[in-house]
Amino acid sequence: MENINKNSFLFSDISAIKGVGTKLKKYLKNKKIEKVKDLLWDLPYDITDRSEIVSLERLEIGKISTIKVRVLKYNFPRFRNLPNKVICGDGVNKIEIIFFNSYEGYIKKILPLKKKVVISGKIGFYKKNYQITNPTYVKDIADESEITKIFPKYSLTDGLIEKVYRKLINQVLTKIDIKLDWHTEVFLKKNNFLGFKKTLQNLHNPKSKTDFFSNTYRRLAYDEIFSNLLIMKSARKIIKIKKKKKNFNFQLSRKVLKNFNFELTLGQKDVLNDINQDILSNERMFRLLQGDVGSGKTILALISAANVIASKYQVAFMAPTEILATQHYELSKKLFKNTNVKIALLTSKIENIKKNYLYKKLQSGQIDLLFGTHALFQSKIKFTKLGLIVIDEQHKFGVKQRMKLAKKGGDNCDVLVMSATPIPRTMMLSFFGDMDISRLKEKPKNRKIITTLVKPENKINEIWPLLKKQISNGKQVFWVCPLIEKSKKLDFSSAVKQYEMINKIFPKNVGLIHGNLKINEKNLVLERFLNKKIKILVSTTVIEVGIDFPNATTMIVENANKFGLSQLHQLRGRVGRGHEDSVCILLYKKNLSENAKKRLKILKSYSDGFLIAEEDLKLRGHGDILGFQQSGIKNFRFSDPIHHKDLFLLAEENVKKINLNNISKFQSLLKLHDRAEIIVDFSS
């Protein structure tokens, strides 16, 4: 059905649209509209109903109204700064049409004396007279139908005018080939979907407000989900290539477990078996290990690394921050003691001479296990025989980045990605459909209880005795400030204010992290906290997921209702990692909404991150699902995991039936959703 050549206009630069010059192009770019297709995706956020003609006696101040009147009199003042006024009437009542910065000739042209016209604009009232100032539309009575309809409302930036913007969109709509589609007529009819062009025409020229359940909108949502799952299937085919089987006995991994004096749970044993089967197979492993906070993901990754090393391969372990990489390195030294495994750490603090020496050892095969950040994959770092890449807490990686990483590791290199972010199944399909997935739900027996308390902020004074007791017992405290706005200045001032206040109560015992700190400054504060040189850490950012502060037993979150449940659960997981029971105190401002009360109640009642994620999804619905905007996972443009769950399942079912050799028939769809370049990049 599709004809991409006729519709290549959609993928052109925005300047291909008639009327878009340098100035307008700049304004559109501010709205992130750079290609023609971007205009189509900018759906109206509301409608303006100008369809009803209102008599002058029924006018409502402040309301947008459409009137039918006769032009009675001009009032053009001598002084330039004063507005021009045109008196109009309907035979009974009168109204003033006010123009600022308009020439007499223009006004006389659009409002000829004695002529009947249709005018639409916002109703005002001044000196006992109804007015419309700078009306949006003025038309001759013969062109009434051009005004008396429902108009879409768009979110516009400075320099963009709604009338001009709508003209641009309608120009694009007229140029779409009616035959452009990637679904069969049978499929469209069965699911009550319209054709692609008709769908966009309806959404940009709505007859009423659309919602998530309208089939017009659902058509776009389905296409977005379908394209995403299709690209995941394609990526999986590219990534899951044949490799040489790795061979190992379990002697080294048993020794690692013995050194740790740790008994695996049944869930951990099942996941480890999944990973081992992948490593021993002749198909490259590309697996996501998803586990709740404190479920033991790192231990399983290091046991897996031991098996790969026993197969005479090297392992690269990548962490999101240097402090977490260092922590993993220190743990591995304990686990691999009394073995011949050679371990190294690569950070920015290492001198260049030592770095060059490390590079040589790595290339000659004298290093078995290397820890570091994403810098591990710089071109100058070369492995002799890389057999496994472990990526910790890199849920921010999209499919394109994961594919690049897999390609860099080589054909015989397995990839294990770990994430503590609990994600509902519908979202898993779309974000990690290119990977096999293992879930760790069961927590180790040695994990301590975390008591969750919910308190209003006006009772903050009740917290100080608890903190004094914790600190006197040698324990440490996290204090997280809210991300009320996206502005760093607001967060910064909030954190500094709290830091100063807490520092007066606990002088020289408080550290501060905020968005204006450089990475090395931030790491320095975290290291001081880790080494117990400061007792309370105040932060505006979510504390790094995965970093282990076993001495921290108290987590305080201000304005907790401003965070997603998943974020709060992650924060809570930063305590309770040592030998002591811990507490998480959620402070909230008064006058909580019912929804906010439900969310805090869920967190207080449950400790299962996956269950919390599902409940959070139900409560939040469309928008910032689970706070993923802050954790790096992008939301979809049209689809929503709770409203469109059935569409996710429908797309999953249909993608399974597709032969990837015929993927070219979906080229326009993939290009429209910015997916096509992924296949182009990695099919070569």
Question: Is the Cβ–Cβ distance between 117 and 139 less than 8 Å?
Answer: yes
3-state secondary structure 238-306: HHCCECCCCCCCCHHHHHHHHHHCCCCCHHHHHHHHHHHHHHHCCECCEEEEEECCCCCHHHHHHHHHH
Q: Among residues 585, 297, 273, 646, which one has the least CA distance to residue 444?
A: 297
Between the alpha carbon of residue 408 and those of residues 201, 242, 405, 427, the distances in Å are 44, 15, 5, 27
pLDDT, residue 541, reads 63
3-state secondary structure 293-351: CCCCHHHHHHHHHHHHHHCCCEEEEECCCHHHHHHHHHHHHHHCCCCCCCEEECCCCCC
Model confidence pLDDT, tens digit, residues 80-110: 788 999 999 999 999 999 999 888 999 999 9
Model confidence pLDDT, tens digit, residues 469-497: 999 999 999 999 875 444 555 555 577 88
CATH number for the domain whose boundaries are 450-607: 3.40.50.300
Domain spans of the chain? 1-47+162-206, 52-148, 251-440, 450-607
Domains 52-148 and 450-607 share a fold: no
pLDDT, residue 567, reads 78
Average pLDDT value for residue range 427-451: 76
CATH of 251-440, one of 3.40.440.10, 3.40.50.300, 2.40.110.10, 3.40.50.11540: 3.40.50.300
Radius of gyration of the chain (CA): 31
Strand-by-strand arrangement of the 450-456 sheet? 450-456, 582-588, 552-557, 476-480, 536-539, 510-513
More confident residue, 453 or 375: 453
3-state secondary structure of 167: helix
Which amino acid would we find at residue 616? D
- Sequence-distant (6+) residues with CB within 8 A of 291 are 297, 418, 419, 420, 439, 440, 441
Confidence of residue 208 (pLDDT cuts 50, 70, 90): confident
Which amino acid would we find at residue 635? N
Q: Which helix (H) or strand (E) holds 75?
A: strand 64-75
Question: Is pLDDT at 126 greater than 50 in this prediction?
Answer: yes
Say how far apart CA 17 and CA 10 lie, in whole Å. 10
Model confidence pLDDT, tens digit, residues 499-509: 889 999 999 89
- Give bridge partners of residue 46 from the DSSP assignment: 153
CATH number for the domain whose boundaries are 52-148: 2.40.50.140
Model confidence pLDDT, tens digit, residues 570-617: 888 888 877 788 999 998 887 777 777 888 888 888 888 778 877 776
Q: Backbone phi, then psi, for 583, in 5-degree steps? A: -135, 140
Predicted TM-score (pTM) of this structure:
0.70
Q: Among residues 131, 139, 130, 135, which one has the least CA distance to residue 110?
A: 139
